[in-house]
């Protein structure tokens, strides 16, 4: 596929766009929206990306799955991403917060032989390259414009009202809307279809650190998840100096933290022996960032006039780093179906149904693992690192993002068996017992 050079100046679109009818309006210029605009432009569609911020801007979601690399290759921009400062990622590590040993999982040992390498990277330059590449391919980009409301949402007739930083509101029109608004869930709120999942109401505290200890060799690039009863830490190497660290916990438990939220992360780190040791010589800003981390779904994921991409469709607990992968894969699928329906290769209703199934079947595999992850029985089995009938290899394949359009049968039946083992573990130990670690009760 032809490579497009990085543009330092993105296409800026004036208020005159109000008189243009676009083939596709894209709400959001993050990875999902930029990928949709890039792919649509290369297929000859008139695409307008509307982004409320100006890039580069800070964002978490910095650890990629191997499936993400395959999506970047299809978009033709993997060399541009590889040229940015990053850390190669060949696997991931997991541990309990009161232990010193780590359990490593190498992607190459998955059940389905696929790419075994991906990367971890700061999102600001990553997202900027994607958006610049969309503009280079011919998509129009409006940065600094917030979508006030959806005025009309019908197949072939979509109207959005934008708040312009330069004057009066702007109305833009298009045939279809690709909602890549992330957790803003533009269409979900408009149609009142957003449903928060009650088991995943969490809070995340996070920041970038320097001087965090790393292991030598390729395992020094493994993201580390450190688990406790209340939640889990992530430690993600981003480049030679910088490491992203965060803690995701139940919202009810967060209320028990005896310090204010902007200082919570340092307090939590000091309560966890493993993370405290990793960060003994690390430096970070005095205050941390905070976000509500509520998982939700906005089904249907497609319908007359719209497709929901990535987090605008559904947000999964971040434990398995699925966000960017879901965003890119959903963008490619939505644009393919949209282009096919426009060309008469399929009907619009069948395109909507196929897309809805695609998002449902691929995301449900991640949701299943996320549900299990917070159970101590899962952690005991998972940290054993092996099991009968290659079950552990099937789980590793899910961790690489091998779920599109749905996990294959060889993975599905093994994961179902693993779920059965998780239910049995509290009563009939199938893996060694491990002491629970309650971080808030630690001395």
Q: Would you list the domain boundaries of the chain?
A: 15-76+122-194+298-358, 92-116+202-294
The DSSP symbol for 150 reads E
CA distance 82 to 118: 10
Neighbours of 196 (CB within 10 A): 12
CA distance 249 to 440: 11
The DSSP symbol for 219 reads G
Q: What pLDDT score was predicted for residue 293? A: 67
- End-to-end Cα distance, the chain: 57
CA distance 307 to 296: 17
Task: Report whether the peptide linkage leading into residue 56 is cis, meaning its omega lies within 30 degrees of zero.
Answer: yes
Q: What pLDDT score was predicted for residue 18? A: 53
- 3-state percent helix, strand, coil for the chain, nearest multiple of 5: 40, 25, 35
Strand segments (E) across 97-239: 103-106, 118-120, 140-143, 146-154, 157-163, 170-179, 195-210, 224-228, 231-237
pLDDT mean over 349-364 = 96
Report the chain's C-alpha Rg in angstroms: 22
pLDDT category at 2 given cuts 50, 70, 90 is very low
Query: Based on the number of CB atoms within 10 Å of its own CB, is 156 exposed (0-12), middle (13-18) or buried (19 or more)?
Result: exposed
pLDDT category at 6 given cuts 50, 70, 90 is very low
199 pLDDT above the threshold of 80: no
**Least confident window among 174-188, 286-300, 410-424:** 286-300
Q: What pLDDT score was predicted for residue 73? A: 95
pLDDT category at 17 given cuts 50, 70, 90 is low
Q: List residues bridging with 208 in a β-sheet.
A: 244
Q: What pLDDT score was predicted for residue 367? A: 86
CA distance 389 to 385: 13
Query: Based on the number of CB atoms within 10 Å of its own CB, is 334 exposed (0-12), middle (13-18) or buried (19 or more)?
Result: buried
The DSSP symbol for 138 reads T
For residue 280, the Cα-to-chain-centroid distance in whole angstroms is: 29
pLDDT category at 126 given cuts 50, 70, 90 is very high
pLDDT category at 442 given cuts 50, 70, 90 is confident
CATH topology identical between 15-76+122-194+298-358 and 92-116+202-294: no
> What rounded mean pLDDT belongs to the chain?
92
279 pLDDT above the threshold of 50: yes
Instruction: Give 237-271 pLDDT, tens digit per residue.
Output: 999 999 999 999 988 899 999 999 999 999 999 99
Residues composing the chain:
443
146 torsion bin: left (phi>0), alpha (psi -120 to 50), beta (else) = beta
* Side-chain half-sphere CA neighbours of 87 within 13 A: 29
Q: Give Dmax over CA atoms of the chain in angstroms.
A: 68
CA distance 325 to 75: 13
Q: What pLDDT score was predicted for residue 16? A: 47
pLDDT mean over 426-442 = 92
Instruction: Give 306-352 pLDDT, tens digit per residue.
Output: 999 999 999 988 888 889 999 999 999 999 999 999 999 999 999 99
Q: What pLDDT score was predicted for residue 198? A: 75
Q: What pLDDT score was predicted for residue 443? A: 67
Hey, which CATH number is domain 92-116+202-294, 2.40.37.10, 3.40.640.10, 1.10.760.10, 3.30.9.100?
Answer: 3.30.9.100
CA distance 153 to 71: 29
Q: What pLDDT score was predicted for residue 91? A: 94
CA distance 182 to 222: 26
Choice between 15 and 116, residue whose per-residue pLDDT is larger: 116
State the CATH class of domain 15-76+122-194+298-358.
alpha beta
Cα–Cα nearest to 117, from 106, 127, 128: 106
Instruction: Give 39-89 pLDDT, tens digit per residue.
Output: 999 999 999 999 999 999 999 999 999 999 999 999 999 999 999 999 999
Neighbours of 436 (CB within 10 A): 14
């Amino acid at each position: 596929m032809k490579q497009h050079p990085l543009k330092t100046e993105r296409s800026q679109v004036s208020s005159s766009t109000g008189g243009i009818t676009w083939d596709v309006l894209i709400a959001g210029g993050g990875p999902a929206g930029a990928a949709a605009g890039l792919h649509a432009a290369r297929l000859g569609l008139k695409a307008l990306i509307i982004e409320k911020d100006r890039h580069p801007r800070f964002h978490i979601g910095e650890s990629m799955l191997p499936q993400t690399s395959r999506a970047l290759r299809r978009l033709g921009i993997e060399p541009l991403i590889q040229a940015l400062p990053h850390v190669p990622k060949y696997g991931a590590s997991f541990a309990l917060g009161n232990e010193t040993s780590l359990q490593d999982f190498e992607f190459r040992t998955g059940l389905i032989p696929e790419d075994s390498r991906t990367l971890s990277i700061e999102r600001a330059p990553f997202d900027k390259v994607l958006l610049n590449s969309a503009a280079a391919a011919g998509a129009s980009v409006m940065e600094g414009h917030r979508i006030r409301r959806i005025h009309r949402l019908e197949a072939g007739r979509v109207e959005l009202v934008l708040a312009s930083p330069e004057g009066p509101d702007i109305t833009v029109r298009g045939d279809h809307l690709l909602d890549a608004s992330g957790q803003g869930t533009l269409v979900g709120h408009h149609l009142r279809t957003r449903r928060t999942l009650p088991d995943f109401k969490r809070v995340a505290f996070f920041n970038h650190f320097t001087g965090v200890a790393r292991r030598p060799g390729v395992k020094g690039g493994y993201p580390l998840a450190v688990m406790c009863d209340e939640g889990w830490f992530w430690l993600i190497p981003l480049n030679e100096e910088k490491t992203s660290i965060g803690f995701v916990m139940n919202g009810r438990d967060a209320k028990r933290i005896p310090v204010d939220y902007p200082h919570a992360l340092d307090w939590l780190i000091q309560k966890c022996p493993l993370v405290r040791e990793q960060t003994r010589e690390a430096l970070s800003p005095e205050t941390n960032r905070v976000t509500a981390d509520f998982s939700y779904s906005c089904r249907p994921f497609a319908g007359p006039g719209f497709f929901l991409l990535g987090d605008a469709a559904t947000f999964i607990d971040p434990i398995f780093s699925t966000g960017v992968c879901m965003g890119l894969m959903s963008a490619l699928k939505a644009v393919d179906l949209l282009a096919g329906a426009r060309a008469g290769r399929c009907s619009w209703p069948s395109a909507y149904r196929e897309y809805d199934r695609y998002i449902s079947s691929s995301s449900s595999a991640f949701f299943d693992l996320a549900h299990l992850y917070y159970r101590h029985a899962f952690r005991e089995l998972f940290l054993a690192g092996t099991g009968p009938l290659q079950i552990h290899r099937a789980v590793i394949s899910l961790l690489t993002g091998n779920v599109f359009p749905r996990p294959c049968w060889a993975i599905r039946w093994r994961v179902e068996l693993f779920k059965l083992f998780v239910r049995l573990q509290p009563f009939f130990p199938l893996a060694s017992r491990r002491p629970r670690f309650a971080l808030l009760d630690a001395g």
